[in-house]
Each structure stands twice: as C-alpha cells, then as structure tokens.
Structure 1
C-alpha cells in the first residue's frame, strides 16, 4: 500500500493529485495549509519553519511512505535532508527543449522570482546559451485560484491574465511558459484562450512519474484520498465540490 502525503498552501497541489493517481494507485493524504497562504510572500526563515513543522506533523500523524512538497517556492528555497521527500521543481530543461525562439517565461511567486536559489537552479541546469529565461511574478494569478475566482468570476480571471502576462510575453517574444506554481494549471483554460500560440508546461506529469518510481513496489488496490486544511474546512470543501471533488474536509493544525 503506497501512502503519500501531499501538501501546499492551499488549492495548488490538487493539480498534481490526478496525475499521481493515474501513474500509480495510492492512498493520498492532502493537506491544504491555507493558514500560511501564500508561501510566496514568506521570508526564507519563515518558510523553513513552516515547512519543517508541516513535514514533521505529517510524518507523525500519517506515517507516509512519501511526502510531496507540492509548491515550487519551498521546494527551491527550503533545504530538508530527508529521503522520503519529493519536491516540485520548475521543468526548465523541458521548456528550453521545446521552445522555438529560445524565449522561455517562468511564472512563479515573487519570493521565487527574486531568489538566489532560482538563479542557482537555472545555472546548474546548464541551459543552451540561446535560451533566455524571463521571470514573471504570477502572485495575482495564484491568488485567483486560492480565492476560488477561477470558479465563479471568468471576466476577472481573463482580465487579470491579460494584465499580468500580455506585456512581458509580447516584449520578450515568449513561446513557452513554465507554470512554476501548482496553482496555475487551474487557470489553463484562460491562459490557452488568451495566448493560443504559447505552450504552457506543467510539471505534474514529471512529478507523478518520479513518485511512481519510488513507490512502484507497493501500489494500493484502489485510489483513495483524505483532505485536510489548516484554516476553514467548510469553505475549502465548498470549492472542492465546485470542481467535482466530492470529499469531506477536516481541520488539521
């Protein structure tokens, strides 16, 4: 039986749950740490404290085989030396490979955009010299998802997507954009409609394959999922029902 804990600051990591369960049958504990949303505006020391505490709590309460940190920001900024941790990192090599212009955008939180850790990650990836990486603060887009606006305010989503991305995409002649926040795949219908000539790269499939390799020897008989939040269970449950996830949500602090 593969028991996997997945967490993020809210809605985000739900975008990687389905790919994981398609890759391998598993029992998933999903923790939406909404009390600490957004991770992207926390200092490195604050984030380290939050992530360390969360990982320890999940290990103590659920004893998972694997814990997925379903957010790019802490995955890059926080160092955790545990073997059972899988981090969600921006797939910049894949994006660079499929780009025809060499102009690739990375849509991420402000903390990640400004971090030295992202610069180190890019440098270690050794991208071809012709590749230009444009960093774009997608904080407003992440908030659209966390506040449930993508469910009930299409006009606001379309307007915000245009406002945040049109100018930098056009100015840098971007043809590939990395969704370097697990919240952002929920906005794909708006992104594709507004920018039909841009390829958006989601790290979910890569993460799912990584998880499958680690727990391949102990698949579960069926897919199950329990959902927890650190804030308002009823509100989060209402959002989940709107996207077709008919699960009860419990408080976990």
Structure 2
C-alpha cells in the first residue's frame, strides 16, 4: 500500500524537531509538515483543558494539509491530550512519552531520574506508567524555565547552565544511573547535560522509538510513500522563525504563519 500524503507533526515549539529528525532519518522519502506552536509555549504550565484545545487546533491544521498520520511530538500534549485526539479524529496518532520503561529495566541501581515539564509529571498517563515499576525509585524534576530559554534561542546561556546544574545535581546526589529526558525540547541540551553528569549516568530520550513506531503504523495501516526522491519538509511557526531556522541549522525554509 502506498500513500504519498505527508506525515504531520506538532509540538508546543521547536523541541519536537528532535523527533522530526529521527523520523526524517528513518523515513527519508516521506514528506513531512512540522507545526511549532511557539506562541503558546510552554504547554507544561497550562491546564489539561487548554492543552487539549491547542492540540485539537494543531491537529485540524495538519489534517487540512492532508496529513496521513499525526505525530504528537510533545510529551505534555501526549500525556494530557492523545486519548481525546484519538477519540475525536479518524487518523492514526503517534505519541511521545518519557522513556521510563527502558531506563527502569536497565537501571542497575534501581534509581532513575526524569527531567520533564510540570504538565507531563502531573499527568495521569505518566503516573500510570511510573506505577508499573514499583521496584525503581524515580526522582522527578520539573524543568522550570528550560523550554522558554530554548524557544528564545538561549540554549548556551549562563541562565541555562545555572538551571541545569540546579536540576541535575539533585539527581546526582540521589545516585541515579539513568536520566530520562521527558520533553522533546531537552535533547538539544544533551551536550550541556553531559558536561554536568558523571560518565556512568546514561541519558535516554524517546525520539528513536517514536520514529520506529511511526514506520510500523505506516506499514501496517496507512501506507508509505512510493517516491524514491528525498521527501519535502515544510516547517511552520507562529513565533519568530529565526529560532526554528537556527535549530534546523538554517537548512530548511521556515514559514511564519498564525494558526
């Protein structure tokens, strides 16, 4: 089965491009449309009702662009809204959840850390997942302020360094051996995080697993593109396009659009 319609992705901002990269690398012939709702970032401080409303708005925009599958490239939107999205729209949805399972199963010390937004850590879906691993101590840390700094292009700022030290040192003292990045923005912080963490602590995020699941669903029920050429990638943002363009190393056109 072939289907040349694009894969649609949305996030509360630029962070979900970390998921887009994994999907683009695994499925290079697929056309993609990426929606950065930076005007409303961060989702993590919004109510569940607001997150559902914003997720529906983003989904409808992508469906109007004929997206054949929607990737919710945002932990907060997945954990708070994907159940409602699947009930409302007749299109497959791929979500992104913190990678607690691989961290818990591989942790030798049975102590793992998770750095995520308040919206993700407070969600019912997160608690349901965490409860499956009763023998693992999970050190939760809200990443207050990290997403706004990334959205403002201040990844390497002194304030970012200060916040990361404050958040990670608590986990180091708790003797974690895995750090789960529970926000699609956070993989862009891995170089700084590695400078702070001891070498034995492994960092894990969900990007590769999301890409594999996207391919699986496309193969089973939707259809892959039959084009042999490299897929086209379209990026939309409702905020400053320079930030998204810089995250993409200025290799792709970013369109400014109020959606």
Whether the TM-score (by the shorter chain) exceeds 0.5 is: yes
- C-alpha distance after superposition, 1:90-141 (max 9, x if no partner): 1111111221111011111012223333212323xx22x4211111101322
| Offset, 1:35 | 1.4
Structure 2 CA distance, aligned partners of 1:57 and 1:2? Answer: 14
Contact 1:72 1:182 (8 Å CA) reproduced: yes
- C-alpha distance after superposition, 1:122-173 (max 9, x if no partner): 23xx22x4211111101322233222111x53x4332221022212x13321
Question: What is the 5 A alignment of 1:14-29?
Answer: 14-25=17-28, 26-29=30-33
Query: 2:150 is matched with which residue: 133, 145, 148?
Result: 145
Alignment-derived partner of residue 96 in structure 1: 104
Query: 1:52 is matched with which residue: 47, 53, 56?
Result: 56
Contact 1:237 1:249 (8 Å CA) reproduced: no
Is residue 251 from structure 1 mapped to residue 254 from structure 2 by the alignment? Answer: no
Structure 1 CA distance, aligned partners of 2:245 and 2:212? Answer: 30
| Partner SS for 1:227 | strand
Question: What is the 5 A alignment of 1:57-206?
Answer: 57-60=61-64, 62-78=65-81, 79=83, 80-81=85-86, 82=89, 83-123=91-131, 126-127=132-133, 129-150=134-155, 152-153=156-157, 155-167=158-170, 169-195=171-197, 196-206=199-209
| Offset, 1:174 | 1.0
- C-alpha distance after superposition, 1:7-37 (max 9, x if no partner): 1011111001121112112111010001111
Contact 2:35 2:58 (8 Å CA) reproduced: no
| Offset, 1:244 | 4.2
| Partner SS for 1:139 | coil
| Offset, 1:55 | 0.8
Alignment-derived partner of residue 37 in structure 2: 33
- C-alpha distance after superposition, 1:223-251 (max 9, x if no partner): 22101012233x3355346x343423231
Question: How many corresponding residue pairs?
Answer: 244
Structure 2 CA distance, aligned partners of 1:49 and 1:185? Answer: 26
Contact 1:5 1:67 (8 Å CA) reproduced: yes
| Partner SS for 1:30 | strand
Query: CA 1:162 to 1:3, structure 2 compared with 1: closer, same or farther past 3 Å?
Result: same
Unpaired runs of at least 5, structure 1: none
Unpaired runs of at least 5, structure 2: none
Query: CA 1:17 to 1:238, structure 2 compared with 1: closer, same or farther past 3 Å?
Result: closer
Structure 2 CA distance, aligned partners of 1:197 and 1:149? Answer: 28
| Partner SS for 2:51 | helix
| Partner SS for 1:149 | coil
